């Protein structure tokens, strides 16, 4: 009797556990009901330990680089800096600069240097926002020359450089990109982040710059560039993103919203990646940073507290509309002065008036053309594609190649898959993700098979392939991959920058196949046969390539050749060509044979 009582108690525990797990599968797929966008009010997750945050930080950095098309990084080819047109004033100089950040692609800017001082100076990378005159904007709400000149007077070397499509950086428009570019992760955001990284390379190369004391500051779109740069580049030792770190607005321009950038993430987390390096958040009462003292600043400070350095982050809140005005600039001077120059006397860090130079004396391409061999838009896009193909072809480590593909298309091999079985009907879900994958499970003996039809599980069930497996009494799983099956739920795709916050339908389908394969591997260790029907043949190919378990493919690709047009029409997954596309998938599958 005691044995029976113990057995019943154990069965009750198992049943309760099973019910608890089943209850985590939502009634509706969160990918249809939770559709974040740039104006969603996000909440900072609670990180209870430094180890937990550091693991998250690694994932976020990888996510930023992948979304920017910088995973892996392009080769750091020679910058071939052209520095000319020197203007000297009493205590600072200004020079024009052209940098070749990619072969045939040029970044323009101005270099501001202290005069009358000696030694190696700290340096500041200074991206601008969406001002009409770009890096040359000078007006009460924002002046790039005023901040650069005053920083130079205080003892910094400052490089003010263009956003793409502004001033001298004219080989692409500022906003560009469609489905083909998204396949290759070729975007304004990626070019701008790469240009920022190369701007740091340039500053470190200067003989009058201390390479270990480089910072960054910019406002609005320049604030976005600042916090993305400091998030991925540890060479940034101090920073001040101005009027951009917000929980209620993540950026309005395509240059701030590449596909996959903010999947499950937002700008406050990106800003917190600066910890524990000195960081100033400047906010304003009249824009989307209006809640910073009560919301965003405490959230970022909580991350600094995990490092035991909560005082390394500060907030200054300015009563003004969206800006980088004199009050905001002086707040930055004081913060940088304290942490970089060891100067705490505010009188020495107030802003002095400047002489505004003529635009033609500041523009690198005034009365000049781009150097010979400069690429046009089509040539630059072709260069980007050639780089991606070469990086994939040269990678001999298949597991590294698989990981790059997985990261670039933003899918995962789930750690735990929840399931609920009711007769032949099955529901699958990744723990903590809120997704819901209906399907049909026919149990049996032998090696299991996953059959995926582009019209869903019922369509798969009617196929001759399933009939043959059923007669052989093989176990078969059929699923309604995302947005397939008889009851396709509506999904609001109308929000701007939708793909920055939400995966494409095909990317979600690829994830569902990996989730189903993971469930089968949990239930039946050993090889899984994977059969794709209709358009799902391509989904299955990439799932087989990405799965870290043995998968036997049993379907051809038909007329799918892996061209951009094929991907756009049949399997649209941003980043998939950047990671090697069809050729990489075939290599990964062949490598298992």
Q: Exposed, middle or buried, 220 (CB in 10 Å: 0-12/13-18/19+)?
A: buried
Q: pLDDT of 460-491, one tens digit each?
A: 999 999 999 999 999 999 999 999 997 787 89
pLDDT, residue 10, reads 43
pLDDT, residue 593, reads 66
Q: pLDDT of 246-272, one tens digit each?
A: 999 999 999 999 999 999 999 999 999
**Cβ-Cβ contacts under 8 Å for 139 (sequence gap 6 or more):** none
- DSSP for 456-507 reads -HHHHHTSHHHHHHHHTT--EEEE--TT-SS-PPP----STTHHHHS--HHH
Q: pLDDT of 283-336, one tens digit each?
A: 999 999 999 999 999 999 999 999 999 999 999 999 999 999 999 999 999 999
pLDDT, residue 21, reads 45
Query: Is 60 exceeded by the pLDDT of residue 26?
Result: yes
Sign of CA dihedral 365, 366, 369, 371: negative
List beta partners, residue 533. Answer: 453
Closest by CA to 102, choosing from 198, 206, 226, 201, is 198
Paired tokens of 206? 């200067």
Q: pLDDT of 127-165, one tens digit each?
A: 999 999 999 999 999 999 999 999 999 999 999 999 999
Q: pLDDT of 414-448, one tens digit each?
A: 999 999 999 999 999 999 999 999 999 999 999 99
pLDDT, residue 592, reads 77
Query: Is 50 exceeded by the pLDDT of residue 12?
Result: no
Closest by CA to 514, choosing from 410, 586, 392, is 410
Which DSSP state fits 324? B
Paired tokens of 519? 């469930």
What is the average per-residue pLDDT within 78-105? Answer: 98
Q: pLDDT of 358-393, one tens digit each?
A: 999 999 999 999 999 999 999 999 999 999 999 999
| H/E element, 316 | strand 313-321
What is the average per-residue pLDDT within 227-236? Answer: 98
Query: Is 80 exceeded by the pLDDT of residue 7?
Result: no
- Torsions phi, psi for 430 (to 5 deg): -80, 135
Q: Cα–Cα distance between 300 and 81 in angstroms, integer? A: 37
Which DSSP state fits 238? E
pLDDT, residue 525, reads 84
Among residues of the chain, what percentage have pLDDT more than 90? 92
Which DSSP state fits 45? P
For the chain, give the mean pLDDT: 94
pLDDT, residue 2, reads 47
pLDDT confidence band for 524 (50 / 70 / 90): confident
pLDDT, residue 489, reads 78
Among residues of the chain, what percentage have pLDDT more than 70? 96
pLDDT confidence band for 28 (50 / 70 / 90): very high
Q: Are 305 and 276 in contact (CB under 8 A)?
A: no
Q: Cα–Cα distance between 500 and 346 in angstroms, integer? A: 41
């Amino acid at each position: 009797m005691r044995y029976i009582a113990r057995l019943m108690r154990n069965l009750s525990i198992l049943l309760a556990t099973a019910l608890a797990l089943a209850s985590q599968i939502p009634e509706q797929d969160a990918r249809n009901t939770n559709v974040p966008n740039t104006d969603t009010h996000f909440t900072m997750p609670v990180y209870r330990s430094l180890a937990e945050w550091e693991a998250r930080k690694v994932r976020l950095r990888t996510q930023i680089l992948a979304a920017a098309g910088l995973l892996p990084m392009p080769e750091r080819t020679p910058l071939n800096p052209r520095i000319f047109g020197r203007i000297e004033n009493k205590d600072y100089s200004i020079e024009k600069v052209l940098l070749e950040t990619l072969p045939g692609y040029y970044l323009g800017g101005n270099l501001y240097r202290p005069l009358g001082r000696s030694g190696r100076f700290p340096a500041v990378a200074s991206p601008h926002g969406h001002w009409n005159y770009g890096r040359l904007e000078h007006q009460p709400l924002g002046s790039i020359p005023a901040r650069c000149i005053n920083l130079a007077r205080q003892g910094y070397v400052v490089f003010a450089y263009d956003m793409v499509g502004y001033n001298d950086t004219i080989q692409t428009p500022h906003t560009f990109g469609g489905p083909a570019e998204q396949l290759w992760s070729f975007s304004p955001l990626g070019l701008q982040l790469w240009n920022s990284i190369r701007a740091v390379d340039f500053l470190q190369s200067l003989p009058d710059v201390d390479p270990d004391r480089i910072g960054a500051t910019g406002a609005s779109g320049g604030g976005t560039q600042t916090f993305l740069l400091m998030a991925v580049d540890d060479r940034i030792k101090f920073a001040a993103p101005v009027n951009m770190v917000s929980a209620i607005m993540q950026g309005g321009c395509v240059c701030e919203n590449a596909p996959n950038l903010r999947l499950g993430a937002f700008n406050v987390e990106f800003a917190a990646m600066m910890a524990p390096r000195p960081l100033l958040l400047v906010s304003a009462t009249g824009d989307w940073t209006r809640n910073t003292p009560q919301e965003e600043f405490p959230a970022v400070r909580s991350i600094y507290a995990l490092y035991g350095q909560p005082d390394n982050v500060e907030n200054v809140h300015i009563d003004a509309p969206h800006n980088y005005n004199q009050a905001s600039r002086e707040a930055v001077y004081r913060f940088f002065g304290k942490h970089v120059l060891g100067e705490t006397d505010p009188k020495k860090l107030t802003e002095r008036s400047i002489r505004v130079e003529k635009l033609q004396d500041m523009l690198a391409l005034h009365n000049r053309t781009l150097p010979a061999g400069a690429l046009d838009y089509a040539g630059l896009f072709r260069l980007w594609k050639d780089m991606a193909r070469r990086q994939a072809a040269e990678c001999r480590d298949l597991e590294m190649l698989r990981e790059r593909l997985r990261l670039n298309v933003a899918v995962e091999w789930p750690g735990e898959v929840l399931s609920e079985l009711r007769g032949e009907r099955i529901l699958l879900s990744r723990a903590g993700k809120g997704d819901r994958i209906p399907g049909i499970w026919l149990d049996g003996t032998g090696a299991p098979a996953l059959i995926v039809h582009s019209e869903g599980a019922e369509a798969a069930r009617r196929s001759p392939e399933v009939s043959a497996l059923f007669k052989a009494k093989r176990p078969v799983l059929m699923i309604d991959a995302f947005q397939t099956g008889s009851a396709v739920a509506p999904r609001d795709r109308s929000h701007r920058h939708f793909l920055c916050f939400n995966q494409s339908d095909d990317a979600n389908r690829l994830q569902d196949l990996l989730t189903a394969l993971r469930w089968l591997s949990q239930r039946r260790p050993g090889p899984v046969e994977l059969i794709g029907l209709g358009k799902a043949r391509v989904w299955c190919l990439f799932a087989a390539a990405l799965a870290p378990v043995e998968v036997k493919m049993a379907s051809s690709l038909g007329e799918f050749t892996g061209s951009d047009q094929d991907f756009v029409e049949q399997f649209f997954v941003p980043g998939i060509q950047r990671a090697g596309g069809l050729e990489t998938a075939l290599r990964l599958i062949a490598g298992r044979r």
